[in-house]
């Protein structure tokens, strides 16, 4: 870090250099400046996001067709968009994130020790790069200006949610145990096939589809399924504009094991396979619970449940299935896994 300041010593309305704020128990919050923030949002260390992007991913995010453009050039353009979206922090934003982190840390100490990283890293963006959404890259949380203005309670919930994505990325074995409590089994990257694969939309917080869940069709036939995000359009549509959200569809697709321990979406050819809505199958909500409607994938379901545990005064009041976040907290408490990159 180029420089370290204490919050109380700052007199400027915007912060143009890295700021490190120590809080209790040896935890430090890093507010990255534009230079280091730009490096963080384009980093591929411990994060396969840019390698996983499909053509429609790139086209939707850039807002233009990419006929005749090499993939390396398209990814370079997208990285420039991410870099240009990084902006300076203001002192009120630093204060708000610091308070949100203190709340999450306090609840983590009581309910899920070991959840909070010793170096909690944040980047602020304009939101232009990812539709205003919060997301993570490696060990860093990226917050848009609009999310920072949402107020303390929503911000604490968001910090807990995004910290879960960082935690899972850096604790892959514990992530498997957490997924198991929700009914998911980590099997490694799932081959999405020739139909879904080219339409895949990549979630920055869960770039790889690597978990399956056992459910039943409406007729009672059991099958293994992967949760997938995919585009309603095969290629960029100017009428839908820029960003992945206008294209976004999701659901459960049947998968089959190939005999070598690898899984592939069932079926072949260019026709889309059967995609089931979670509500259309038996056994899904019985396993993942109904604590959240944000069910785009197993990592999001996990993050929402841990966010309930770590941002609520009383999770048993907020949660429809209170046992789930409590059990997840116990799994974190019992983890013996050292974070990736730690000594």
What is the structure's pLDDT at 269? 67
Residue 155 shares a structural domain with residue 202: no
Residue 320 shares a structural domain with residue 293: no
Using the Cα atoms of residue 202, residue 203, residue 207 and residue 208 in order, give the sign of their dihedral.
negative
Residue 142 shares a structural domain with residue 22: yes
What is the structure's pLDDT at 89? 97
- Examine residue 163 and state whether it is found in any structural domain, yes or no: yes
Residue 293 shares a structural domain with residue 307: no
Q: Would the pLDDT of 331 be above 70?
A: yes
For 263, the domain range is 178-300
Residues 6+ apart with CB under 8 A from 288: 182, 183, 213, 295, 298, 301, 324
Residue 199 shares a structural domain with residue 281: yes
**pTM beyond 0.75, yes or no:** yes
Structure-token match 């049947």, residue found: 254
CB atoms within 10 A of CB 194: 13
Residue 91 shares a structural domain with residue 22: yes
Residue 286 shares a structural domain with residue 311: no
Which three-class secondary structure state does DSSP give residue 275? coil
Contact 236/199 with Cβ under 8 angstroms?
Answer: no
* Both tokens assigned to 210: 């690597």
Contacts 24+ apart (CB under 8 A), 149-156: 152/96, 152/99, 152/100, 152/103, 153/311, 155/96, 155/97, 155/100, 156/99, 156/100, 156/103, 156/104, 156/311
| Structural domain count, the chain | 2
CA distances from 163 to 23, 116, 127, 156, 270 (A): 16, 7, 19, 10, 38
Residue 313 shares a structural domain with residue 267: no
Residue-wise pLDDT for 143-196, tens only, equals 999 999 999 999 999 999 999 999 999 999 999 999 999 999 999 999 999 889
- Examine residue 70 and state whether it is found in any structural domain, yes or no: yes
Give the chain's mean pLDDT: 92
What is the structure's pLDDT at 341? 61
Q: Would the pLDDT of 16 be above 80?
A: no
Q: CA-to-CA distance for 18 and 77, rounded, in angstroms? A: 26
* Both tokens assigned to 249: 């569809």
Residue-wise pLDDT for 89-113, tens only, equals 999 999 999 999 999 999 999 999 9
- Examine residue 343 and state whether it is found in any structural domain, yes or no: no
Contact 61/50 with Cβ under 8 angstroms?
Answer: no
Residue 160 shares a structural domain with residue 204: no
Residues 6+ apart with CB under 8 A from 192: 200, 209, 226, 228, 253, 264, 265
Q: How confident is the model at residue 8 (pLDDT cuts 50, 70, 90)?
A: very low
Residue-wise pLDDT for 288-316, tens only, equals 999 999 999 999 999 999 999 999 888 88
Residue 155 shares a structural domain with residue 193: no
Which three-class secondary structure state does DSSP give residue 28? strand
- Examine residue 155 and state whether it is found in any structural domain, yes or no: yes
- Examine residue 283 and state whether it is found in any structural domain, yes or no: yes
Residue 166 shares a structural domain with residue 25: yes
Residues 6+ apart with CB under 8 A from 113: 332, 333
- Examine residue 1 and state whether it is found in any structural domain, yes or no: no
- Examine residue 86 and state whether it is found in any structural domain, yes or no: yes
Residue 144 shares a structural domain with residue 31: yes
- Examine residue 2 and state whether it is found in any structural domain, yes or no: no
Burial 91-114 (b: 16+ CB within 10 A, else e): eebbebbbebbebbbebbeebbeb
Tell me the average pLDDT across 241-252: 94
Strands of the chain, DSSP E: 14-15, 19-23, 27-31, 89-90, 119-125, 135-137, 140-144, 184-186, 211-216, 222-231, 248-257, 263-265
């Amino acid at each position: 870090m180029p420089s370290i300041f204490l919050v109380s010593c700052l007199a400027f309305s915007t912060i143009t250099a890295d700021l490190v704020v120590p809080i209790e128990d040896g935890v430090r919050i890093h507010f990255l400046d534009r230079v280091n923030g730009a490096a963080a949002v384009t980093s591929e260390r411990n994060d396969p996001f840019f390698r996983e992007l499909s053509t429609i991913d790139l086209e939707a995010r850039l807002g233009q067709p990419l006929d005749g453009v090499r993939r390396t050039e398209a990814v370079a353009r997208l990285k420039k968009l991410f870099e240009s979206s990084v902006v300076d922090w203001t002192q009120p934003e630093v204060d708000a994130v610091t308070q949100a982190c203190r709340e999450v840390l306090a609840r983590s100490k009581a309910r899920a020790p070991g959840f909070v990283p010793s170096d909690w890293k944040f980047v602020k963006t304009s939101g232009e790069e990812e539709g205003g959404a919060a997301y993570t890259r490696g060990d860093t949380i990226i917050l848009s200006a609009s999310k920072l203005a949402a107020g303390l309670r929503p911000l604490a919930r968001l910090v807990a949610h995004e910290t879960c994505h960082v935690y899972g990325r850096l604790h892959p074995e514990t992530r498997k145990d957490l997924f198991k409590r929700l009914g998911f089994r980590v099997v490694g990257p799932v081959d999405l096939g020739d139909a879904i694969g080219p339409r895949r939309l990549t979630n920055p917080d869960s770039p790889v589809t690597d978990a399956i869940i056992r459910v039943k069709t409406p007729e009672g036939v059991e099958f293994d399924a992967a949760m997938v995000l995919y585009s309603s359009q095969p290629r960029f549509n100017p009428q839908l504009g820029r960003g992945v959200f206008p294209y976004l569809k999701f659901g459960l697709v049947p998968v089959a094991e190939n005999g070598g321990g690898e899984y592939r979406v069932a079926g072949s050819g260019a026709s889309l396979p059967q995609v089931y809505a979670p509500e259309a199958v038996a056994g899904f909500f019985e396993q993942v619970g109904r604590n959240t409607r944000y069910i785009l994938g197993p990592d999001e379901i996990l993050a929402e449940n841990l966010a309930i545990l770590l941002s609520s005064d009383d999770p048993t009041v907020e949660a429809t299935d209170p046992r789930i976040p409590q059990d997840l907290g116990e799994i974190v408490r019992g983890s013996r896994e050292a974070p990736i990159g730690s000594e």
